[in-house]
């Protein structure tokens, strides 16, 4: 697993609470709580594009993934620089992109709303702004046993969630089920943007392995995964109908309700080794 650059200490705080037991007994306890603070995205020194609520962890990965999934740049190398500053309870990302990319961003206009940590599309004026051109996804096979292995291993890799028990994770695993990257955030979209960010800078082929989501899989999660060429997406919750339609059109393997002993394949079963062992959902 890749060492994460940011300190977990900056991503959570300790808070006291009163725990009430089944027999009304009370106990004073201390809990880890994930931080959620505003990150202002400023492009080329003066254009404030959006304010996103994020967990202050792996922020460079988040910015890289955000500008990729928002179609602000075409590839990670188009991000010229990114400098992040923190002043008390506010973060600012000073992002520099090329003149051509910046001109296109200006023509699009800034987001109209603050993006909450649970929101992947707040302020986008048109779905065409983030619609992904259907890529040609690889047909690499993924063993069902590898997916089970990764699902069992994921909790141990969720180092922030072990402390706060409240954040989402997006992970990427190799075809053998070994997890190589995990990114966490209070926002499920933010977690996936962070994963896209690190994968865009990795020598590994995202299409060779698979992505795990600890959250529900709405259509924009499929769109984000397609941006980086992820061909197999596994979520612990059910996907929406629109997510299934987009995944099917892209020939993506989409798995929902994923547990170590049972999972539902909604499309793309041809990538799975021994797909007959998986409950098929095709309607």
Ordered DSSP codes for 42-79: EETTTEEEEEEEE-SSSHHHHHHHHHHHTTSSSSGGGE
What is the pTM for the complete model shown? 0.80
Structure tokens at 273: 């080794």
Kindly give the confidence (pLDDT) of every residue in the chain, 283 residues in length, as a single tens digit, with 9 standing for 90 and above: 444 555 666 677 777 666 665 665 667 777 676 777 889 999 999 899 988 888 888 999 999 999 999 999 999 999 999 999 988 778 999 999 999 999 999 988 655 444 554 454 444 433 344 455 566 788 889 999 999 999 999 999 999 999 889 999 999 999 999 999 999 999 999 999 999 999 999 999 999 999 999 998 888 899 999 999 999 999 998 888 889 889 989 999 999 888 888 888 888 888 988 665 555 444 4
- 229 burial (CB, 10 Å; 0-12 / 13-18 / 19+) is middle
Report the pLDDT value the prediction gives residue 229, as an integer from 0 to 100: 94
Domains of the chain: 37-129 (3.10.20.10), 142-280 (3.40.140.10)
Residues 32/154, Cβ–Cβ less than 8 Å = no
Q: How many residues are listed for the chain in this entry?
A: 283
Q: Which residues contact 269 (CB under 8 A, 6 or more apart)?
A: 253, 275, 278, 280
Query: Other CB atoms closer than 10 Å to residue 168's CB: what's the count?
Result: 25
Return the active site residues.
119
């Amino acid at each position: 697993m890749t060492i994460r650059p940011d300190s977990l200490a900056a991503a959570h705080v300790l808070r006291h609470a009163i725990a009430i037991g089944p027999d009304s007994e009370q106990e004073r306890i201390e809990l880890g709580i994930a931080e959620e603070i505003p990150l202002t995205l400023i492009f080329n020194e003066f254009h404030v594009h959006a304010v996103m609520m994020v967990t202050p962890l792996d922020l460079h990965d988040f910015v890289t993934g955000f500008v990729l999934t928002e179609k602000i740049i075409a590839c990670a190398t188009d991000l010229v620089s990114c400098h992040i500053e923190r002043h008390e309870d506010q973060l600012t990302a000073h992002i520099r992109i090329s003149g051509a990319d910046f001109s296109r961003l200006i023509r699009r206009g800034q987001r109209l709303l603050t993006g909450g940590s649970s929101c992947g599309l707040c302020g986008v004026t048109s779905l065409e702004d983030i619609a992904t051109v259907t890529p040609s996804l690889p047909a690499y096979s993924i063993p069902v046993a590898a997916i089970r292995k990764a699902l069992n291993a994921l909790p141990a890799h969720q180092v922030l969630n072990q402390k706060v028990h409240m954040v989402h994770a997006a992970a990427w695993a190799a075809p053998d089920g070994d997890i190589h990257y995990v990114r966490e955030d209070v926002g499920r979209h933010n977690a996936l943007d962070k994963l896209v960010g690190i994968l865009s800078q990795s020598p590994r082929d995202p299409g060779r392995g698979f992505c795990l989501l600890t959250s529900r899989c709405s259509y924009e999660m499929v769109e984000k995964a397609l941006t980086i060429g992820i061909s197999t997406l596994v979520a612990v919750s059910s996907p929406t109908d629109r997510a299934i339609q987009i995944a099917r059109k892209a020939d993506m393997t989409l798995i929902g309700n994923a547990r170590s002993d049972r999972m539902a394949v909604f499309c793309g079963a041809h990538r799975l080794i021994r797909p007959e062992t998986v409950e098929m959902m095709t309607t």
